[in-house]
Chains A and B, each alone.
Chain A
Amino acid sequence: MAEIAIRDALNQAIDEEMARDQTVMIMGEEVAEYEGAYKVTRGLWKKYESPRVLDTPITENGFTGVGIGAALVGLRPIVEWMTFNFSIQALDQVISNAAKMRHMSGGQLKVPIVFRGPNGPAEYLSSQHSQAIQSFYAHIPGLKVVAPSTAYDSKGLLKTAIRDDNPVVFMEAEMMYSWTGEVPEEEYTVPFGKAAIRREGDDVTLISFSRPMRLLEEAADELASQGINAEVIDLRSLRPLDEDTIYASVRKTNRVVVLDDAWPVASFGSYVAWLISRNCFDELDAQVELVHAEDVPMPYNHKLELAVQVSTEKVVKAAKRVLYME
């Protein structure tokens, strides 16, 4: 199996879906001639030309709405947001229109569209450009929300997203684009609503999604070196959420740490923690721990920005707390 970067896995997914379906197109800032701010669309404009690979002005609300409108009448647009920070400009179109058109029309309309781009903290960018806003989208019924952590899932989930008849918010991470992983030559997709158990263990369950999965892996290594066997779960999709896999694991380990790199108030991680508390109450041997970003905007100073963010160390500490080792 070839080992490729996540940006190339995403590129393959878009390329393959555009090749198999003429209604699939991609639009966004610098996606065509410039080949994408993060080079996810490299080579696609030369291959498919405008308007299938379409540069837009810097007008997130406008072109996001254009994608939604086009989806209503038969296209399958992929809207690239240069980052999710800019998607805040487009929130009205996503929440008021994409998520609600089917509902408000009593099931007459469908909105097959993918909104994708990098989410989550980056480096040295201060607070407007470095934040994890998955909770904004996960909050909204009518949207599907996915956040892969590997090259394999990036490709397979994006293909599923493009073929889905619902609006899908597809969250990548700037710091992940160069991560590599094995991707098979042959055609495959990864279904929504199915979490992946990355590592099996009996002592404690560690749950996260997207880029912070690396921290879980590192934390699990650290815990293993201390004789603790952690089970590591990658949610992969937030909506729909694979609750069964979570509960099965918690019922086995009786202890759980949820890691979400967003702020703690009303975050997706806090929702998962609540679900576990409610549905596995009798099986829990300790309170559910939530590892989250500090409840402050991101500072520029590197020492400070690292202190604000989630870390392997914070996960290890939380795991030890639910194991009553601290």
Chain B
Amino acid sequence: MASKSKNDAKSGSDSAVSMNLKSYKKDFLYSALEKMLLIRRFEEKSAQMYGLRKIGGFCHLYNGQEAVAIAAAMAADMSRDYMLTAYRDHGHALACGMDPNVVMAELYGKITGCSRGKGGSMHMFDVEKHMLGGNGIVGAQIPIATGVAFAEMYKKKVMGQKDTGVALCFFGDGAVHQGAFHESLNLAGVWKLPAVYMVENNRFGMGSAVHRVSAVEDFEIKAVGYNIDGMQLDGMSFIDCYEGIGKAIERARKDSVPTLIDIKTYRYKGHSMSDPAKYRTKDELDKFKAQDPIELLKSAMKDAGMITDEDYQNLDKQIKQTVQEAVDFAENSDEPAIETIYEDVYV
């Protein structure tokens, strides 16, 4: 965790990171594995249904990055903390505990979707689960998340509320170059806001490799300029993410110190469903797949005697069933009525 060494952004590490499960309880890790696998299978099914034209528009898949959202959600207290992310948001929605049926129905544009068919892939929301989107403009969620953190600080300071939350803000490496990033992190530094900013550095902003568009490849160093904490994490390691993000959340909650975390991850699919990802080699993709976050956790758990191949296969089967039920639910749901176009515009 928090290794300050410069990762090789282009090749990834050749050997799978060995994971120290230390004193983690089996149930906890099993739950993490289950949640990550749910995202993986959900995304695979989303791709399939997109291919069948059941899902339209821009559809950005989370395959490969599962450890990040799940680790964050498990390190957080989602009854008080909030999650805000960009358009690659299916994983975060599921990580917050949103019902896969409702997420799939939203992808289908059905009235039973979380946004009543008005948001689609990029706009997953669940106020009760503290999932505040799903933002389609690169970096536009960063000021919003900063505002959520501000409100939590305000509620504590002005209104004397206890149990205030932390804003968990996710964005890609492309968003780091937006003005919104700079403006927000400066405000978080000036006002000491309870926020954790996580760059899901999947090495590409659409088709542009990080080194082609960024003067630096390790983004945690930017924290210095905002007088906040910086940290780098291995996004392929659930444990590394869980521990690192957990520490950042704790600092935000107790000391109101924001953190910027550069999380080295990788997306297996193209930027969106329309992207064949010709800007990278199969070799590079295979190298990252060799350190797949789900496989890594599974094999570490296997080594620790916490799971057998059979257990895993049963789990996978069960999750595939859950995902199929989500598809069935979406298929069988109604389209929104035309009259709903005038709803949800004003309170």
CA distance A96 to B125 in the complex (A): 15
A108–B151 CB distance below 8 A: no
Contacts of A103 in B (CB 8 A): 118, 344-345
A74–B125 CB distance below 8 A: no
Contacts of B186 in A (CB 8 A): 57, 59, 62
Contacts of A67 in B (CB 8 A): 147
Contact with B along A35-74 (1 / 0, CB 8 A): 0000000000000000110001101011111111111111
Q: Is residue B116 within 8 Å, beta carbon to beta carbon, of the partner chain?
A: yes
B144–A69 CB distance below 8 A: yes
A105–B142 CB distance below 8 A: no
- Contacts A62-B183, A93-B140 known; A108 to B127 CB distance under 8 Å? yes
Q: Is residue A325 within 8 Å, beta carbon to beta carbon, of the partner chain?
A: no
CA distance A215 to B186 in the complex (A): 44
CB-based nearest B residue for A142: B345
CA distance A27 to B296 in the complex (A): 47
CA distance A67 to B142 in the complex (A): 12
B187–A109 CB distance below 8 A: no
CB-based nearest A residue for B143: A65
CB-based nearest B residue for A66: B147
A65–B140 CB distance below 8 A: yes
B143–A61 CB distance below 8 A: yes
Of B116, B140, B167, B187, the contact of A97 (CB 8 Å cutoff): B140
How many residues of chain A have a CB within 8 Å of chain B? Answer: 43
Contact with B along A85-110 (1 / 0, CB 8 A): 00000001100110001111111111
Contacts of B84 in A (CB 8 A): 69
Contacts of A51 in B (CB 8 A): 150, 153-154, 157-158, 191
Q: Is residue A166 within 8 Å, beta carbon to beta carbon, of the partner chain?
A: yes
Q: Is residue A141 within 8 Å, beta carbon to beta carbon, of the partner chain?
A: yes
Contacts of A70 in B (CB 8 A): 147-148, 150-151, 154
Q: Is residue A308 within 8 Å, beta carbon to beta carbon, of the partner chain?
A: no
CA distance A176 to B151 in the complex (A): 33
- Contacts A61-B143, A75-B154, A96-B137 known; A104 to B183 CB distance under 8 Å? no
Within 8 A of A (CB), among B135-171: 135-137, 140, 142-155, 157-159, 167
B346–A142 CB distance below 8 A: yes
Report the number of A-B residue pairs with Cβ-Cβ less than 8 Å: 154
Contact with B along A1-36 (1 / 0, CB 8 A): 000000000000000000000110100000000000
Q: How far is the CB of B233 from chain A (nearest CB, A)?
A: 24
B183–A59 CB distance below 8 A: yes
Of B113, B158, B343, the contact of A52 (CB 8 Å cutoff): B158
Q: Is residue A165 within 8 Å, beta carbon to beta carbon, of the partner chain?
A: yes
Contacts of A57 in B (CB 8 A): 183, 186-187, 190
A106–B116 CB distance below 8 A: yes
A74–B113 CB distance below 8 A: no
Contacts of A25 in B (CB 8 A): 154, 158
A65–B119 CB distance below 8 A: no
A–B Cβ pairs within 8 angstroms, 20 of them: A25-B158, A62-B143, A62-B180, A63-B143, A63-B183, A65-B183, A66-B187, A69-B144, A69-B167, A73-B132, A93-B140, A96-B136, A97-B137, A97-B140, A103-B345, A104-B134, A105-B119, A107-B343, A109-B132, A164-B347
Given contacts A66-B150, A72-B132, A108-B125, 14 further A-B contacts (CB under 8 A): A62-B184, A65-B180, A69-B167, A71-B147, A73-B132, A74-B155, A92-B180, A93-B144, A97-B135, A101-B133, A102-B347, A103-B118, A105-B123, A108-B114
